Chain A
Amino acid sequence: MADYYLGIDVGSVSIKLALLEGDTLTAKAYLKNQGLIPTIQQGLKQMPKVQISGVGVTGSGSEFISSLVGGDYVDSEIISHMIATLKVYPDTRTIIDVGGEDSKLMLVKDGVLSDFQMNKTCGAGSGAMVETIASRLGYKIEDVGRIALESKGRLALPSKCGIFMQSEVVSQLNKGRSVSDILMGVCRAMVANYLILAKGKKLFEPVVFQGAVAKNQAVARAFEEALKCPVIIPRYPEFAGAVGIALLTEEQMNGRKTNFRGDAILAPEYHIQVKRCPDPCSNECELTLLLYQGKELAVFGSKCGKWENQIVGG
């Protein structure tokens, strides 16, 4: 009997689940994040009923989700992305990951991560930029790639600030610029913003581009123009994090028994509560409590770590 491993990637915009049977992706779910617990429950319902040998969680709030589902392994999303990519493209030197609000750049040397960079205070180099402008123009994000690729003229839009970009887009529209030129310009500006992460770094080929934004062909074209080299897009670019953490879990299990709580998670009695740490202390931490039928299951968010039952990053 084959072993099944489940990977959960908690992103800022969406939650991704991937079920691996050996090395093959047998089931996947992509859900918009509408409250952590209901979204996870919905995602698990979409998974086939099989005996799961291990669950890995990555992304923001991963320890929290891990204690909810009974995760076996938690690691950072950057490591997960790298593992998934190297599995399919072992020669990769540069990994570009553009998500809903995060963007990450990973450099690989000798098959190991050698450097990485994440956006810190600005989201103008992520999918949110393109999505905001597209919805301002009344287009769905799914259609942006197709429309932008019809562009004939080259339009230079100011990069850096998404708000200034929006006003520039409106003024270009007033001038009678075609929507496809504008959208292509927005994609190019987003790529220029993203490449701020690569400042002072040498990017080598082959370059893999993943994250949900990689489904947008226009952004991929803009990357190819900017980097002057072809960009590889995996088959399921948005699932790289989830697949990676599932692979990592498989590697880390070593015959351990899974903590996965199965259908028990689907009960509707789970709640999240936020409260101040009751102890007198200058940190004044905000604690996140996971409750089941009014009983505390896990606590997160204290700076000193006295309430946590797991250690970040292991």
Chain B
Amino acid sequence: MIIGLPRMGIYSNLLRRFIEGLGVEAIMPAKITREMIGLGAANSSDMICFPFKYTLGQEIWVLEHGATDLVMWNSCGLCRLKHYYQIQELILKDLGHQFKMNVITRKNILSTIKRWGHISHFETYRRMKKLYSEIKEVEAKAYRFLPERQLKIGIVGEVGTMLEPDINFNIVKKLQRMGANVDMSITITDYLNESTEKGSKKDIKEAKSLLSQELGGHGFQSIVNTIFYAKHGYDGVIHILPLSCLPESTVEPIVDHVADKYGITLYRFAFDESAFEVGFDTRLGTFCSMLKRRKLAKNG
């Protein structure tokens, strides 16, 4: 069994080492290249969300490089992520690939790891705990706040695109280089702890009054976290959405509304296979310059 893994941003190496530590051979692309994204886009329906395309592209790559098993997360939620494993399996089988699709959910993750590693329940738990602390370490390093950076920017949006530097053109590092401390509203730790809403109970109540129904994904969190950043003295919020993402495009006007209401500067970046980096850099640089100027004007 050779497991083909999709990349997971700054956690990629941890994840691969964890799987390999179970005694299972794993293969993962070193980077999500433009070619992989193009391959995924070419083989998927035009209107499907962008994360579907870039995960499909990676799956094609790992299968071409010898993977026999694939792994896909099933959120069991309301957005299209829960269909990914089914549609991707169909597309890949149509392309002539032979493989087994392993669907991971919150419920079966422990039993799957136990089965792969032939390890006891206790050992599985111990390893997961170790992985958790390693994840925390990586996050603390990537998103640490330095006093010399003048700006404070919060990032909200679709979690996969937010956490994948290859897709979001390395937004965190670029912002940090431009002198901004970056807070990622949802990290894997938050996700595992089910504490993806940063705001207080009052903020959550307000967000619920604006979006009363479940959407799936993290659309609701984008609203709550925007309110949180506005109330906690952040200079700006960046809303990241992959194109045609249902939860994020649904909450778009609501996020605009709360940003307007609480007076925080919001900028939105939409990513898809045709996004290009030069234009992105210009807009990101201008956003930072704008925030610095606004801060200067405010402080006299």
Q: Which residues of A contact B (CB under 8 A)?
A: 60, 75-79, 110-116, 118, 120-121, 200, 282-283, 303, 305, 311-314
Given A115-B265, A311-B177, A313-B285, 12 extra CB contacts under 8 A = A60-B278, A75-B289, A112-B294, A114-B265, A114-B294, A116-B287, A118-B283, A120-B279, A283-B31, A312-B174, A313-B281, A314-B178
Q: Which of A60, A121, A282 contacts B274 (CB 8 A)?
A: A121
Assess the A79–B286 pair: CB atoms within 8 A. yes
Q: Which of B147-184 touch A at CB < 8 Å?
A: 170, 174, 177-178
25 contacts between A and B (CB under 8 A): A60-B278, A60-B282, A75-B289, A76-B285, A77-B282, A78-B282, A79-B286, A110-B297, A112-B293, A113-B293, A113-B294, A114-B290, A115-B265, A118-B282, A118-B283, A121-B274, A121-B275, A305-B177, A311-B177, A312-B281, A313-B177, A313-B178, A313-B281, A313-B285, A313-B288
Q: Is the CB of A282 within 8 A of B31?
A: yes
| Number of residue pairs spanning A and B whose beta carbons lie under 8 angstroms apart | 63
Partner of A116, one of B275, B276, B290, B294: B290
Contacts of B274 in A (CB 8 A): 121
Contacts of B279 in A (CB 8 A): 118, 120
Identify which of residues 260-281 in chain B touch chain A, using a CB-to-CB cut-off of 8 Å: 265, 274-276, 278-279, 281
Query: Which residue of chain A lies nearest to B170 when distances are taken between CB atoms in the complex?
Result: A303
A113 to B287, alpha carbons, bound, how many Å? 10
Tell me whether B23 is interfacial, beta carbon within 8 Å: no
- Asked if B77 is at the interface of the complex by the 8 Å CB criterion, the answer is no
Assess whether B286 is in contact with A78, with CB atoms less than 8 Å apart: yes
Which parts of B11-33 form the interface with A (CB within 8 Å)?
30-31, 33
| Residues on B facing A (Cβ under 8 Å) | 30-31, 33, 170, 174, 177-178, 253, 256, 265, 274-276, 278-279, 281-290, 293-294, 297
Q: How far is the CA of A114 from the CA of B290 in the complex (A)?
A: 7
How many whole Å from A150's CB to the nearest CB in chain B? 37
> In the bound complex, do residue B293 and residue A79 qualify as a contact, i.e. CB atoms below 8 Å apart?
yes
* Contacts known (A200-B253, A283-B31, A312-B281); A76 close to B289, Cβ less than 8 A: yes
Partner of B30, one of A113, A120, A282, A314: A282
A312, B293: Cβ atoms under 8 Å? no
Cα A18 to Cα B253 with chains together (Å): 41
Q: How far is the CA of A115 from the CA of B291 in the complex (A)?
A: 10
Complex Cα distance, B225 from A128, in Å, reads 41
Taking the nearest CB of chain B, how far is it from the CB of A155, in angstroms? 31
| Listed residue (A75, A79, A305, A311) with the most chain B CB atoms within 10 angstroms of its CB | A79
Give B252's nearest chain A residue, CB to CB.
Answer: A200
Q: In the complex where A110-B297, A283-B31 touch, is A116 in contact with B286 (Cβ < 8 A)? A: yes
Please measure, in the bound complex, the distance between the C-alpha atom of A282 and the C-alpha atom of B29, giving whole angstroms. Answer: 10
**Alpha-carbon distance between A282 and B165 when the two chains are bound, in angstroms:** 13
